[in-house]
Structure 1
Amino acid sequence: MENEASMGDELLNSIRIKIIRNSEKTDALEQFGWSEPRYPVMHRVPDVFRRQNEGVYEDVYNPITISLGPIHNGKKYLQATESIKVSYMHLLFDRTPSFRQTQEDCVTAMTVMEHDIRKCFREVELDDSVRLAEIILIDCCFLIELLYRNYRKEQDPILWNPFNCYAVHRDLLLLENQIPFFVLEKLFHLTVERIPEKMHQLSVPTLIECVRSFFGGMMGPDNGKTEYWYSRSPHHILHLLYFCFLPRISEEEWEKWEHSIKNKVAEFKFSAKQLDIVGVKLKQSVNSKHRFDLKFSISRRFCLWKRGQLEIPPFYIDESTEPFLRNLIAFEQCSPHLPNIITSYTSLMCILVNTNDDVELLEEAGIINNTLGSTKAVLHIFKDMRKNAVPRNFVYNQTWTEVKEFCTPSRVRSGKLMHIYFGKIWVRVSLVSGIVLFLLTFLQTFYSMFPYHHNPNQ
């Protein structure tokens, strides 16, 4: 009995200690859900995403040149840029009237914010407070100097090389390479906003303006003109760019999105080419409200034949598209309070793109703007992304249901028959036309070989 009592006391003490040590994580679980967390969360990419992308695509979530924050700090292959980051911090302090005063103020600010910063990285084990504050201070100052240099169009030793420029842009958009935005704002206020006005080209820029200038070309030329409209402060840079792509809606509409009923992707797997055969024309949307706004309409032709039209805004694809989309999807999946707009759009594109013919059709329609130079590269991106593009709430459920209802079984059968029948006729007409053209060309060449031609007037 005594052994059982002592064992019970020891177990009780052990449980109490674990509960006290884990209290912050318990608080985090209580606020987990559709409401936005009290502290910005610097997420790790879930292991399930990495397992789905084992091999060549695993590095889509890992930095290749520069690490920001504590998650990837200390990796050997990233050590080469650590001294560069310190140099950039020195250059940033040196822009202000008092180097020493700026340095001391930034250090003081970091000591005050360290507790809040630690809560943002609750998925990382952090023991040394001084080391954490040092990492965040150096990385923030490096990032601010880099953004400010780009805004002022100054020569930059990192961005002068096209490969380095792509690598840096890519690394700064990774989900695991983010820094709390409130820390960036505080240090921006203590550094850039202290620079004398005569040193600025026009006026003192804001941090958001510097970020938009740096990432202005992401996913198309319109992004540089898109303003950050969301009333709440972003968690990090990836969060800020996420809202730059979303439609401008009211707070009430946003609340409806956040608390919307889960809509799974409809069981409708028609690709772009198959929709075209059935009678749904895919067209680039001209007057769309935002880059993810889809519209479906039905019109009559010859008073009998119905023709559907699915309007999709243009989608720009380059080298940075895949890592950017994958990290945005991971961010949405890790943030229950966000609607799955990016994931839904990617899921829709994965359904539409199934063969090279689908890619070519979407390119001809102006929906896909491909700078990779290969339809196979685009096909490869969407085929591999299907594993991750599974939205909790498919925001295009209503539009996609309308398309599904339009594509009735009878329409599918008649569309396939017409495609096969007229396809064979077109092949025959093309073949006959080619033969006739060849004979005419041959006869013309043969006739021109004779220097003398009969002239009835001679």
Structure 2
Amino acid sequence: MVAVFNKELLSWYLITLKLKETVEAGIQNSQSPTATRTIEYPSEQPEDHLLKQQQQPSDSLRIVINGDKNSNNFEEAEAKSPEPDWVITIREKLEQARQEDVAGAWGKLSIYRVPKCLREGDDKAYIPQTVSLGPYHHGRKRLRDMERHKWRALHHILKRTRQDIKLYLDSIKEVEEKAAACYEGQIGLSSDEFVEMMVLDGCFILELFRGVAEGFKQLGYSRNDPVFAMRGSMYSIQRDMIMLENQLPLFVLDRLFGLQSGQPNQRGMVAKLAIRFFDPLMPTDEPLSETDLNRLESSLGRVATFDPFSDQGSLHCLEVFRRSLLQAGPKPEPRIWIKRWSHARRVADKRRQQLIHCVTELSNSGIKFKKRKTDRFWDVKFENGILKIPRLLIHDGTKSLFLNLIAFEQCHLDCSNDITSYVIFMDNLINSPADVAYLHYHGIIEHWLGSDAEVADLFNRLCEEVVFDFNDSYLSRLSEEVNRYYDHRWNTWRASLKHNYFNNPWSIISFIAAVVLLLLTFAQSFYGIYGYYRPR
């Protein structure tokens, strides 16, 4: 009995080993779709045969692995498995596009990313170097030093007004969606982070505006403050704050200023403060008179109900500054979408943007240049062969200023191209350092750059890859008048005569003597012939 029991244990042990080997082999060959295996008992001894027959009714150790059956199971598993990651990503992008299209986010867009085609000229002109405002450059490593000064500004405001920070956060939270719609693409910040950034950056801007207008000492800042004082760093801050990608919606600034002043419904005051703050960036050395400044401020604050997305309201500080440059400037006909992108619009390359000839050619044709006394640098006039151009001041920030203004005019649909027209007009006039020197001699251009060649290179690079409609320029009619005068041959001959024979007193005397000699010779010949045919 004991021996039989030991044989039974031995049989079970052998069966277990064989089963283990078979299962492992089946897992390795599971890739074969038609694999069919049968696990059988090992070769049995006669003594074991009786034991197997006794256990056959409960044969649970017999295992069959059917490859075809497993294949069907795999197909069912694949059908129930989730979609690949790249398909899920595509579906998410389509959903995002649907939401943007339904929400009409493009209609409220006003703070744009500068197109890559415009960045190829000088990317540095569009990227802030000192302070970041808004989400586009938020968190940049080299701009983090200014963050602590932003918190100082917020602390001064709360201390001065004795208000709680929650009042500002709740107020901006109400317009969070509206503010986020002003920016292009994904912001990359959570809702709370976005509201915090709007409050912090907005209060920093307002503190600078009020400090320049009222005096930083009146706001509680030290005379030696590294930021909130009229020091050298203020100019670099102003230059960064005028960049297109470094803007905050004006209605956010109006709301924050209303909380500070206790007048939530007040509109237009921030625009007035912005004009005074950015006045040093004006591209002219003839500042606005007090009368002109008051008239401009009243025109900006005239609208009682302020809508940041209407044609009457300002969008951000760059747009306010642009309006202050143009003032009551040229008003071209309203443009619709079809007209803006019709075949008449083309890239303003050197072969197609020539509205007018350069200074050297125009002066050779008899056109004179004269400085026009006005603070509106764009207000060019042409009368009686004299081209009157206001004085233009060119400094280190002029390039960045013009590039950002041109980028805004290129991106914003409901915006004229007046600044672009003026820059292209000046680009046509200036082709060489000699043209810059001629305009400088007549008091039209004043620059702080190294040489006249740098000024010529600046204008020749400002409008690369710019889309421009020549027929929609406020200077197109003036250019036609100048070209007609240039094409008149008598004007060219007269200018050549004056240049060659009347450029100094001795040339004039020589010319008069030659004319007198010619007249005397003609008289002598006449009387000689007359006396021959009609003698006395």
TM-score when scaled to structure 1? 0.75
Distance 1:244 1:415 in 2: 42
Q: Which has the higher contact order (CA 8 A, sep 6+)?
A: 1
Residue 22 of structure 1: which of 86, 97, 101 is its match? 97
RMSD of Structure 2 on Structure 1 (CA): 3.6
Report the CA distance shift for 1:263/1:421 in structure 2 as closer, same or farther (over 3 A): farther
Shift of 1:208: 2.1
Report the CA distance shift for 1:112/1:310 in structure 2 as closer, same or farther (over 3 A): same
Structure 1 match to 2:322: 242
Contact 2:355 2:425 in 1 (8 A): no
1:60-110 deviation line (CA, Å, top 9, x unaligned) = 1000010000100111111111111111111111110x232xx22101012
Shift of 1:118: 1.4
Which structure 2 residues correspond to residues 350-429 of structure 1 after superposition, within 5 A?
Answer: 350-372=427-449, 374-387=451-464, 390-392=467-469, 393-408=472-487, 410=489, 414=493, 418=497, 421-422=500-501
Structure 1 match to 2:280: 217
Contact 2:275 2:320 in 1 (8 A): no
Report the CA distance shift for 1:63/1:269 in structure 2 as closer, same or farther (over 3 A): same
Contact 1:347 1:389 in 2 (8 A): no
Matched, 1:173 2:242: yes
Letter in 2 for 1:295: K
Residue identity over aligned pairs, in percent, reads 26
Shift of 1:136: 1.2
Contact 2:436 2:456 in 1 (8 A): yes
1:112-170 deviation line (CA, Å, top 9, x unaligned) = 11111111113333351111111111100111111111111224531547541221011
Report the CA distance shift for 1:84/1:323 in structure 2 as closer, same or farther (over 3 A): same
Distance 1:254 1:269 in 2: 20
Matched, 1:208 2:287: no
- Could you tell me which runs of 5 or more consecutive residues in structure 2 were left unpaired when the two chains were aligned: 1-75, 217-222, 304-311, 347-351, 508-536
Matched, 1:152 2:241: no
Shift of 1:348: 0.6
Structure 2 match to 1:134: 196
Structure 1 match to 2:26: none
Contact 1:234 1:240 in 2 (8 A): yes
Contact 1:294 1:310 in 2 (8 A): yes
Matched, 1:69 2:69: no
Matched, 1:273 2:351: no
Residue 122 of structure 1: which of 184, 189, 204 is its match? 184
Contact 2:113 2:184 in 1 (8 A): no
Report the CA distance shift for 1:269/1:390 in structure 2 as closer, same or farther (over 3 A): farther
Contact 2:133 2:246 in 1 (8 A): yes
Matched, 1:182 2:251: yes
Distance 1:192 1:152 in 2: 14
Structure 2 match to 1:107: 169
Distance 1:172 1:403 in 2: 38
Give 3-state SS (helix, strand or coil) of 1:22's partner.
helix
Letter in 2 for 1:375: D
Shift of 1:51: 1.6
Contact 2:332 2:473 in 1 (8 A): no
Shift of 1:188: 0.6
Residue 370 of structure 2: which of 269, 278, 283 is its match? 283
Contact 1:278 1:411 in 2 (8 A): no
Residue 320 of structure 1: which of 384, 397, 405 is its match? 397
Contact 1:238 1:328 in 2 (8 A): yes
1:247-304 deviation line (CA, Å, top 9, x unaligned) = 4269xx565367878577664552112211111111122479x432222222xxxxxx
Contact 2:134 2:248 in 1 (8 A): yes
Report the CA distance shift for 1:257/1:316 in structure 2 as closer, same or farther (over 3 A): farther
Contact 1:346 1:389 in 2 (8 A): no
Report the CA distance shift for 1:294/1:420 in structure 2 as closer, same or farther (over 3 A): closer
Shift of 1:16: 7.8
- The structure whose Rg is larger is 2
Distance 1:389 1:126 in 2: 30
Letter in 1 for 2:193: R
Which structure 2 residues correspond to residues 43-58 of structure 1 after superposition, within 5 A?
Answer: 43-53=112-122, 58=123
Give 3-state SS (helix, strand or coil) of 2:393's partner.
strand
Report the CA distance shift for 1:31/1:107 in structure 2 as closer, same or farther (over 3 A): closer
Contact 1:223 1:244 in 2 (8 A): no
Residue 59 of structure 1: which of 124, 143, 151 is its match? 124
Structure 1 match to 2:420: 343
Letter in 2 for 1:248: A
Letter in 1 for 2:202: C
Give 3-state SS (helix, strand or coil) of 1:233's partner.
coil
Distance 1:178 1:322 in 2: 18
Contact 2:356 2:482 in 1 (8 A): no
Give 3-state SS (helix, strand or coil) of 2:113's partner.
coil
Residue 296 of structure 1: which of 382, 386, 395 is its match? 382
Give 3-state SS (helix, strand or coil) of 1:83's partner.
helix
Distance 2:280 2:88 in 1: 57
Distance 2:117 2:479 in 1: 28
